[in-house]
Amino acid sequence: MNIDDIDRLARKRAKAKMSWFTHAIVYVVVNLMLIVQARATVSLLLGWGLGLALHGISVWLFAPGGTLLERMVAHESERLGGKGDQA
């Protein structure tokens, strides 16, 4: 092999390695973005789910006429010496 062949082969190998490093950097950046997006998505899902759960509790358990509220009122009324069925 002469000097030109060695230089050509060295450049070819160096370009292949640079191409691999570029590919690896893109892989890391894209996967970091996916992780951030996944965490954001999970946070949004959990936040929205928590809001939905609290809304459900307020509507189904503590709304006027809800059974839990009525039972709590009756219990407190009994503790205070009332009949417990006054609402």
**Per-residue pLDDT in tens (0 to 9) along the chain, 87 residues:** 788 888 888 888 888 888 888 999 999 999 999 999 888 888 888 989 999 999 888 777 776 666 766 777 788 888 888 665 554
pLDDT reported for residue 57: 83
pLDDT reported for residue 87: 47
DSSP string, 24-47: HHHHHHHHHHHHHHHHHHHHHHHH
Instruction: Report the alpha-carbon distance of residue 57 to residue 75 in Å, rounded.
Output: 20
- CA-based end-to-end distance of the chain: 101
Nearest to 69 by CA among 81, 60, 61: 61
Domain ranges of the chain: 3-79
pLDDT reported for residue 83: 62
